[in-house]
Amino acid sequence: MMTFNEFITSRRVVDNPYGDFIKQAQGDQCFPAIENWEQIVEYIRDRRLRRGATAAALTVWRHYLSKTRLN
């Protein structure tokens, strides 16, 4: 099964909040190995990402779950 980090790496950056989160994660050399939603929330809090990052990350997380549940 694809990990969340592999999913992030495979995504194309687009010009919207979803893409902003993907770009942030792809560009972060210290992006942690994510296994659950709580770790994403912790990452956003620790990095003090801008307002809206949580909603964008939730969209990415749900997209990841929908893709991995089908495989």
pLDDT at 62: 96
Residue the block writes with tokens 């994660």: 25
Low-confidence ranges of the chain (pLDDT < 70): 70-71
pLDDT at 50: 84
Whole-Å CA distances, 66 to 2, 36, 48, 55: 12, 14, 27, 17
Q: Where are the alpha helices (DSSP H) in the chain?
A: 4-10, 17-27, 37-47, 53-70
Q: What pTM was computed for the model? A: 0.88
pLDDT at 24: 94
pLDDT at 71: 53
